[in-house]
């Protein structure tokens, strides 16, 4: 077991196996939030719960994740991230096992909240990867780890739906617990100790987040731009299954297959990281937000095409905007991790709060637009969200230029 304390500024490239291990840890932990979604009908029937009560399972999981990001993720700057990751991994394992053993909906709801809180180990793994990677490879490393996280999000629903159908929902939670425990033990054994970057007390740590937010315009722009893209991302995926069923008579399994197309887009995140290392993350954010916006807007062409071409366009658009969203996210993380290395966990928590808000707003607005204005209304929402993010990034370019002029004077 490794016992050394890793230096603050590492110039040795990370081994590929270490990066893969971190990516797997991020993916397995964040996937725990989404396993329940395709299983709600099955577990609702077996636990004799109402649709409303079972619908609280993913809601409480998301609430727990949001609370964990705001209240626990900042601890990564105060304590050894290796220890925090290991503790959260063990707690997540226990929470998943409690979910599997739940005999009634009340126990499952409590377990779901705990799953969401502990699953924020993913938000400790990403800053750890940024810390361990040399500066010249930080974007590529963060991009690879984020690919693991994003694949966990995109593929978890597909996996849980299949496992729940053929082996039962309890089996899915047990399998998830085994995977999390295995990667936690590997991380504990392989990760070096990471020295804390601050000696602040916990109240001081939380209070400092307000000062970080006010101090760094780049952080605010990153949170806003990524939050807007998250609105479009969430609105699309939360309404796709309904649209495919109503327009084409396709089932939920087909919607899951479209999720695989999105996963293919997420695989390009390391490329975005390499581009950020080579050309600067700010430039990548502008190009990626433009790509996402164009991919969203392309869906306006659906009524002009025959049905097979319509389905093909949806796949191509999903690939395009998923790559744009993930490339922007990786580049934003590369940007903010360079602002204050001693505050990476807090900076990451603040930006992901913006992402979480955008996801929640996108899901609500997407359903509303689909009900009130149909699929064209949803596409309009996606396009406006993407265009807003692009404007923020171009505004950021002007702000950076002005800052440079002011500094020169």
**DSSP secondary structure of 65-76:** HHHHHHHTGGGG
219 against 37, higher pLDDT = 219
Is residue 225 within 8 A of residue 333, CB to CB? The reply is: no
End-to-end alpha carbon distance in the chain: 52
Return the closest-CA partner of residue 276 out of 234, 321, 222, 340.
222
Q: How confident is the model at residue 319 (pLDDT cuts 50, 70, 90)?
A: confident
Q: CA-to-CA distance for 308 and 379, rounded, in angstroms?
A: 19
pLDDT value for 11: 63
Question: Quick one: CA dihedral 393, 318, 25, 73, positive or negative?
Answer: positive
Q: CA-to-CA distance for 172 and 231, rounded, in angstroms?
A: 29
Max CA distance (Å), the chain: 70
Residue 367 clears pLDDT 90, i.e. is over it: no
Q: CA-to-CA distance for 221 and 206, rounded, in angstroms?
A: 21
Q: CA-to-CA distance for 284 and 330, rounded, in angstroms?
A: 9
Q: Do domains 1-197 and 208-409 have the same CATH topology?
A: yes
Return the closest-CA partner of residue 243 out of 327, 317, 169, 294.
317
Residue 399 clears pLDDT 60, i.e. is over it: no
Instruction: For residue 165, count other CB atoms closer than 10 A to its CB.
Output: 14
Is residue 293 within 8 A of residue 390, CB to CB? The reply is: yes
49 against 389, higher pLDDT = 389
State the chain's mean pLDDT as an integer.
Answer: 85
Q: CA-to-CA distance for 339 and 327, rounded, in angstroms?
A: 19
Six token digits for residue 97: 């096992």
Mean pLDDT of 27-42: 87
> Going by CATH, does the domain composed of 1-197 fall within 3.40.50.300?
no
49, 58, 64 from 52: Cα distances, Å = 8, 11, 18
Question: Quick one: CA dihedral 315, 160, 148, 218, positive or negative?
Answer: positive
* pLDDT tens-digit map of 172-202: 999 999 999 999 999 999 998 888 878 888 8
Q: CA-to-CA distance for 36 and 5, rounded, in angstroms?
A: 38
| Residues β-bridged to residue 193 | 5
The answer to whether the pTM exceeds 0.85 is no
Instruction: For residue 271, count other CB atoms closer than 10 A to its CB.
Output: 17
DSSP-assigned states of every residue in 275-321:
HHHHH-HHHHHHHHHHHHHHHHHGGGGGGGS-HHHHHHHHHHHHHHH
Q: Where are the domains of the chain?
A: 1-197, 208-409
CATH class of 208-409: mainly alpha
- Helix, strand or coil for residue 201? coil
Return the closest-CA partner of residue 276 out of 334, 317, 319.
334
Helix axes 16-31, 122-132, angle to 10 degrees: 160
Do the bridges between strand 193-194 and strand 5-6 make them parallel or antiparallel, or are there none, so unpaired? parallel
Give, as one character, the DSSP assignment of residue 268.
T
pLDDT value for 251: 62
Can you list the positions of beta strands (E) in 267-383?
A: none
* pLDDT tens-digit map of 264-310: 666 666 777 777 778 788 888 999 999 999 999 999 999 999 988 99
Six token digits for residue 253: 């399994």
| Residues β-bridged to residue 194 | 6
Residues 6+ apart with CB under 8 A from 218: 335, 336, 339, 396, 400
Phi then psi dihedrals of residue 6, to 5 deg:
-75, 140
């Amino acid at each position: 077991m490794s016992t050394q304390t890793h230096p603050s500024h590492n110039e040795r490239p990370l081994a590929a196996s270490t990066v893969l291990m971190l990516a797997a840890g991020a993916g397995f932990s964040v996937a725990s939030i989404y396993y329940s979604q395709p299983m709600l009908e099955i577990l609702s029937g077996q636990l004799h719960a109402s649709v409303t009560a079972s619908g609280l399972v993913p809601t409480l999981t998301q609430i727990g994740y949001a609370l964990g990001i705001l209240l626990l993720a900042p601890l990564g700057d105060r304590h050894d991230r290796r220890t925090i990751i290991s503790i959260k991994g063990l707690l997540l394992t226990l929470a998943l096992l409690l979910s599997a053993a739940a005999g009634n909906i009340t126990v499952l709801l409590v377990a779901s909240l705990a799953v969401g809180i502990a699953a924020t180990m993913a938000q400790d793994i990403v800053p750890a990867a940024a810390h361990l990677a040399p500066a010249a490879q930080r974007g590529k490393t963060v991009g690879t780890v984020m690919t693991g996280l994003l694949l966990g999000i995109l593929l978890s629903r597909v996996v849980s739906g299949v496992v729940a159908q053929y082996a039962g929902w309890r089996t899915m939670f047990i399998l998830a617990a085994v995977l999390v425990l295995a990667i936690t033990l590997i991380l504990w054994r392989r990760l070096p100790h990471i020295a804390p970057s601050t000696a602040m007390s916990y109240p001081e740590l939380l209070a400092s987040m307000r000062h970080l937010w006010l101090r760094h315009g780049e952080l605010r722009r990153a949170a806003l731009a990524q939050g807007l893209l998250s609105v479009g991302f969430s609105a699309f995926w939360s309404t796709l299954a309904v649209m495919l069923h109503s327009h084409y008579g396709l089932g939920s399994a087909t919607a899951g297959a479209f999720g695989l197309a999105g996963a293919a887009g997420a695989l390009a995140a390391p490329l975005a990281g390499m581009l950020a290392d080579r050309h600067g993350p700010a430039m990548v954010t502008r190009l990626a937000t433009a790509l996402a916006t164009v991919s969203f807007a392309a869906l306006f062409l659906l009524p002009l095409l025959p049905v097979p071409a319509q389905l093909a366009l949806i796949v191509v658009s999903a690939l395009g905007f998923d790559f744009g969203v993930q490339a922007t996210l990786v580049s934003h993380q590369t940007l903010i991790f360079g602002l204050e290395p001693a505050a990476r966990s807090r900076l990451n928590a603040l930006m992901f709060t913006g992402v979480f808000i955008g996801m929640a707003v996108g899901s609500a607005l997407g359903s509303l637009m689909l009900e009130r204005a149909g699929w064209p209304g949803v596409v309009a929402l996606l396009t406006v969200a993407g265009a807003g993010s692009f404007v923020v990034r171009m505004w950021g370019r002007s702000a950076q230029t002005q800052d440079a002029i002011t500094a020169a004077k």
